[in-house]
Structure 1
Amino acid sequence: MTQTPPFPARLLAALLPLCLTAPAFAGEAVQLAAIEVSASTPTQDDTLDGAQLQKAQARDLGDVFVADPEISVGGGGNPISQKMYIRGMEESLLNLSVDGAQINSKVYHHQTALILDPQLIKQVEVEKGTAAASAGPGALGGAIRYETVSAIDLLRPGQQYGGSLTGSVFSNEGWRSGAMAYARLGAQFDALVSVSGMDTDNYQAGNGQTIANSATEQQHYLAKLGLQLSDTQRLSASFQRSRDEGVRTARANMVGFPHPVLPNDPIPQSLDRDTATLNYSGRQLGWFDGVEATLYRSEVDSDRTDRKGRNWGETLTTSGADLLLKNAIGDHLLKYGLNWREEKSAARNIANPYKLTGSGREEMRVFGGFVEGEAHFGSVTLTGGLRYDDYRYTDNHHQRYASDGLSPSAGIRWQALDTLELRAGYARALRGVGLKEAFMLDIAQWKNNADIKAEEAQNAELGFAWRDGGFTLDGNVYRQHIDNFITTFSCASSRGGCRGNLDRATIDGYELSASYRWGNLHLGLSVADNRSDIGGRKFNDADLGLGTSTGRTWITRAGYTLPDYGVELGWLGRFVESLDYTPVGTTETRSKAGYGVHDVFISWLPLKKDTLRLSLAVKNVFDQHYYDQATYAWNGWQGKTLGYPEPGRDVRVEARWSF
């Protein structure tokens, strides 16, 4: 698909004069110290390190989150068809952001809306369960914040410019390459430019079967410019473009099946994401101990062409701004701020087989504010937050909706012993009536019921953390409710179908994680399980936009470093127990088969410094044939498995030269 220069490039061109007319600069570039306020929810959250993702040669979302038992990524081995679930809740219930830019609404339910090169990730913050007030509006199931690398992250002390070249080959099947350049320009400016691409053929499953229509091509571009306004203030601008394209079935997460009206033929498809952000951060600015402000715009474009030559697809444009202020009041901490987001979706070349009227366009906006704090009283820490959000939404049938409400949260942490912390908390979140999935504006113009209510989530959680020398043990139990979940269903009042509220969905679960570090050896074991209920049954694969059910998941891991030789070794096992459930299209109970998968990696610095890194990773060492339990698999109406199996053994070899 031919594109004009992307809007983020034009936006950044407009923003650059702001950088050039900034206040006078002072001193050498300084990385700002963070002023942190713990979230007002007691969830067992995670921060993933981009360096480890590089060593394990992560190339898609499944690789990024494979070590977390509370996160499942289904859809097979094609990155475009992968969907992520936290505690059984689909990614569409989360707040997702890249460098502060929110990417939340759905484009097409058979594919993801977020494609990103994992090799560009600096870190990933995962907030599980109903999120804290500061996570932004509508974080019913949590939040995931991706942060990409900057020049100041990569430049060595005293280095003014540098770069890297990366090349990888995959036995199952394809290659990846990338080039990056970064520099410090004088005392105030720093810049980074990165280009990478990945090309894979149809992969093989563990039984040796070649999976048709699973090949993909990806290109990723990242440009960042940083400006040190003073020792305590920094301004940065970034632009990202990611593109995925290939010939895959119209429902990219399903194999072909006969259907007289809605065929599933292999057709050319592409997905593009362009994102621009402008970030300001400062500390010790008069009354404020910390200030963070973000302005962003993101555009996702999905494109398909069928065998008859019809070209169609969807666009989703998100614009927003966030302001966060921080204050330290003695031993106590406070943060507060504002969030604004506007989303617009549209379908191109509408088919409209149901002869419904509709504009093919929708828009919504949300404006909110929050306050969140942390108070210390000896061994007890109290946390709390409150946010208010106001939603406005106009659908493709010119119906207008308004939703607003408060989302409180509170928690307590007690340092019962030097080695033991106990925690408890409760959080609520509201998400107003908002955009339909953009695909629903096209061939299935589902009509909103007039009385749709806002969605509400609440999460109660108990947890503990034990720290004693090199041993750690963490655990959480939780109960989560989602009321008034908005979804689509058949109805008599609209030929295409209706969109409205369902009853309460409930998820109960737990996570337990242990780790031990002794010298250069690191060992870990974790387990997580959740049980969902909606209408007296577990979530099934067809509960799109809500979630799915998976069995109890175990993660085992081990790592060992040989610093004298510049070698690091790692092993990870992911084991999922079988699960009985009722699939869509049948009343019979079936079982999702359990499986165990092993991954290993070796990372070697032959020059004993980070100029040259050689890596070997083997995914699915024993060539296990399996379907991830988060994959849309068995369908009762069709009487067969529709989803794609996971890739079999994949040997990946990579060389990375940094200069």
Structure 2
Amino acid sequence: MTQTPPFPCRALAVLLPLCLATHALADDAVQLAPVEVSASTPTQDDTLQREDLLKSQAHDLNDVFVSDPEISVGGGGNPISQKMYIRGMEESLLNLSIDGAQVNSKIYHHQTALILDPLLIKQVEVEKGTAAASAGPGALGGAIRYETVSAGDLLRPGQQFGGTLTGSVFSNEGWRSAGSAYGRFGDKVDALVSGTLMDTRDYQNGNGETVANSATEQRNYLAKIGVQLTDTQRLAASFQRSTDEGVRTARANMVGFPHPVLPNDPIPQSLERDTATLKYSGRQLGFVDGVDATLYRTEVDSDRTDKKGRNWGETLTTSGADLMLKNAIGDHLLKYGLNWREEKSAARNIANPYKLTGSGREDMRVFGGFVEGEAHFGSVTLTGGLRFDDYSYTDNHDQKFDSDGVSPSAGIRWQALESLELRAGYAQALRGVGLKEAFMLDIAQWKNNADIKAEEAHNSEIGFRFGQGGFSLEGNAYRQIVENFITTFSCPASRGGCRGNAGKAVIDGYELAARYRWGNLSAGLSVAESRPELEGRKFSDGDLGLGTSTGRSWVTRLDYALPEYGVQMGWLGRFVESLDYIPVGSTTSRSKAGYGVQNIYISWLPLKNDTLRINLAVNNLFDQQYYDQATYAWNGWQGKTLGYPEPGRDVRLEASWKF
């Protein structure tokens, strides 16, 4: 894999003059609280915190999002085959970022493009539905923002240097180890280096059967350095690498796909992602209350070697810059900024059996700007946003496509009572014609139709929040529309296929969540249901790049703390109702089986502080045999289940020493 310098000189050239220019203003400024503007959409967004991920010993995306009924993760127990869905929409319709660096386009539809050990995560912000103007270009289905830990998150008050060592074993089936070192150098500089290793063998399903070709080796590394330029200005750089290797079927999310021309043999495969970011943040700079600027570069490399010895794969490189300015105007808030992103994809060692593949390379560029505000009038808050994006795309057949448009959003929140808030909103988003998945640049013609149109999303939503004492109840209902969905399909005049607009997708749904806290006990119950349809039919597992259909999902949880013993314990249950749908290759209805899975954890601090932590977790406590409904499972043409089952019971024991 071609390595890119993690801290590009051109990034420093852009940001450092900005820091120096504002130095004089910042020295005399009074430091105030950061200015934040709420999103224009009234969704039930979610923020997942590091502490919860540590207690449950999260290993993969499924572990990270198991507590949110609006999010499904299918693909089985191998992280490389897992895909995430929000309200039935696939992750490829979302804006995904790590420390502000975008990871959006697809490498290969049978695997994920995002691997990251949850041990490195500080928090995950989930923005559901068509995202606010500030979420960046192309956020049709929402946004997920991963933030990794920094030295300041791990150092104790007054501590200059520290570290952590973590080791864990799990019965189904493998081990993980991790180490971090971090510190402050004087009053201005802090730094962190961290690494995790995870090796698993083929896991067992709930029936006790070994799932072949599900073993994996993962390596995750993180390095960060931050410089406090003044009391109100900070410059930070980070570099994060994740790798995954293993022998798995050519279609990593399918256990069987017998085909005389397109076999699904187990072959060595790897996925590697490098992400570098450079960030500047300033507060109370005189001319503006807040500045956030980010430069980033992400490179994803997929590699495969078949049984005939052919080595091939794909690369996807994303470079970008984001600038956000914030101002307080009396009681009102305003933020505005610019976004630039460039993506390049390429297939290596092209087979090109039909001499139709083209150059094997594509590139896309988008430049956009936005303004978003929040105005307070007594008990009523109005929010609104507007963004403009301009896309340019050149495909592997040297066809050029230009797309541009305006995306408005507006919302209202009314504090009807001290304990009751009502909200409603509407948002649009545009995603211009862009890269195919990189795999489709390799072996066959997948040619863009000349009249292909940009995708547009519309989201209408109403909701409420009630809270009194230790009890809260929150709910919302929505209708999401994606017009001109772009996908591939068979073309009579082509030996491969065409890429064009498939029509309109409509998703109706709701979510309701209740929580109660009484002393050291907290309880929660949430339910979510989405009904996604494409041109009047339910999403099927074959709607790759769009989404899938799942039954109504329930999540229940109890957490209890015994602070005098340094103990926290909890139980989480996820229950999914059965769903009737028409599978790929079928004309008759079939049912996706419902299931209920329960996890428990105990976290113990035996020294009554964070020096030593011992965690015990049991996932799938009752050894349930099931397929996640978001998994590509039954195939009508072959009359069999192709997807991977979920792991059976997994007992995880972990010890962590912080010094």
What's the TM-score once normalised by structure 2's chain length?
A: 0.97
How far the C-alpha of 1:444 sits from its partner, in A, is 2.8
How far the C-alpha of 1:17 sits from its partner, in A, is 12
Measure the CA separation in 2 of the matches of 1:508 and 1:516. 28
Measure the CA separation in 1 of the matches of 2:374 and 2:11. 39
Say whether 1:225 aligns with 2:225.
yes
Contact 1:575-1:597 at 8 Å conserved across structures: yes
Partner residue of 1:501?
A: 501
Cα deviation code 1:402-436 (max 9, x no counterpart):
00000000000000000000000000000000000
Say whether 1:364 aligns with 2:329.
no
How far the C-alpha of 1:21 sits from its partner, in A, is 12
Q: Aligned AA for 1:506?
A: V
1:329-408 matches, cutoff 5 A: 329-408=329-408
Q: For the structure 1 residues 405 and 16, does the alpha-carbon distance in structure 2 shift closer, same or farther, using more than 3 Å as the test?
A: closer
How far the C-alpha of 1:10 sits from its partner, in A, is 6.1
Contact 1:364-1:435 at 8 Å conserved across structures: yes
Partner residue of 1:189?
A: 189
1:256-271 matches, cutoff 5 A: 256-271=256-271
Partner residue of 1:457?
A: 457
1:526-541 matches, cutoff 5 A: 526-541=526-541
1:235-634 matches, cutoff 5 A: 235-634=235-634
Measure the CA separation in 2 of the matches of 1:535 and 1:407. 23
Measure the CA separation in 1 of the matches of 2:60 and 2:377. 44
Q: Aligned AA for 2:278?
A: L
How far the C-alpha of 1:256 sits from its partner, in A, is 2.4
Cα deviation code 1:558-605 (max 9, x no counterpart):
000000000000110000000000001010100000000000000000
Q: Aligned AA for 2:476?
A: N
Task: Figure out how many residues of one structure are paired with residues of the other and give that number.
Answer: 654
Measure the CA separation in 1 of the matches of 2:616 and 2:260. 47
Query: What SS does structure 2 have at the residue aligned with 1:285?
Result: coil
1:25-36 matches, cutoff 5 A: 33-36=33-36
Partner residue of 2:6?
A: 9
Runs (5+) with no aligned partner, structure 1: none
Say whether 1:77 aligns with 2:77.
yes
Partner residue of 1:153?
A: 153
Say whether 1:115 aligns with 2:112.
no
Q: For the structure 1 residues 401 and 521, does the alpha-carbon distance in structure 2 shift closer, same or farther, using more than 3 Å as the test?
A: same
Q: For the structure 1 residues 384 and 305, does the alpha-carbon distance in structure 2 shift closer, same or farther, using more than 3 Å as the test?
A: same
Contact 1:172-1:647 at 8 Å conserved across structures: yes
Contact 1:12-1:276 at 8 Å conserved across structures: no
Contact 1:198-1:217 at 8 Å conserved across structures: yes
Say whether 1:144 aligns with 2:141.
no
Contact 2:226-2:234 at 8 Å conserved across structures: yes
Q: Aligned AA for 1:403?
A: S
Measure the CA separation in 2 of the matches of 1:633 and 1:546. 16
How far the C-alpha of 1:354 sits from its partner, in A, is 3.0
Query: What SS does structure 2 have at the residue aligned with 1:7?
Result: coil
How far the C-alpha of 1:353 sits from its partner, in A, is 2.5
Q: Aligned AA for 1:159?
A: Q
Q: Aligned AA for 2:66?
A: V
Contact 1:612-1:656 at 8 Å conserved across structures: yes
How far the C-alpha of 1:182 sits from its partner, in A, is 0.2
Measure the CA separation in 2 of the matches of 1:260 and 1:210. 26
Q: Aligned AA for 1:292?
A: D
Measure the CA separation in 1 of the matches of 2:96 and 2:655. 31
Query: What SS does structure 2 have at the residue aligned with 1:416?
Result: strand
Q: Aligned AA for 1:444?
A: A
How far the C-alpha of 1:38 sits from its partner, in A, is 0.5
Partner residue of 1:105?
A: 105
Q: 485-494 vs 185-194, which deviates more?
A: 485-494
Q: For the structure 1 residues 368 and 551, does the alpha-carbon distance in structure 2 shift closer, same or farther, using more than 3 Å as the test?
A: same
Partner residue of 2:657?
A: 657
Cα deviation code 1:36-81 (max 9, x no counterpart):
1000001110000011101100000000000000000000000000
The list of structure 1 runs, each at least 4 consecutive aligned residues, that deviate by more than 4 angstroms after superposition, is 12-27, 30-33
Cα deviation code 1:509-567 (max 9, x no counterpart):
00000000000000000000011111221000000000000000000000000000000
Query: What SS does structure 2 have at the residue aligned with 1:63?
Result: helix
Q: Aligned AA for 1:287?
A: F
Contact 1:8-1:274 at 8 Å conserved across structures: no
Contact 1:565-1:606 at 8 Å conserved across structures: yes
How far the C-alpha of 1:257 sits from its partner, in A, is 2.7
What's the TM-score once normalised by structure 1's chain length?
A: 0.97
Q: For the structure 1 residues 335 and 14, does the alpha-carbon distance in structure 2 shift closer, same or farther, using more than 3 Å as the test?
A: closer
How far the C-alpha of 1:286 sits from its partner, in A, is 1.0
Runs (5+) with no aligned partner, structure 2: none
Q: Aligned AA for 2:36?
A: E
Q: 442-451 vs 392-401, which deviates more?
A: 442-451
Q: Aligned AA for 1:286?
A: G
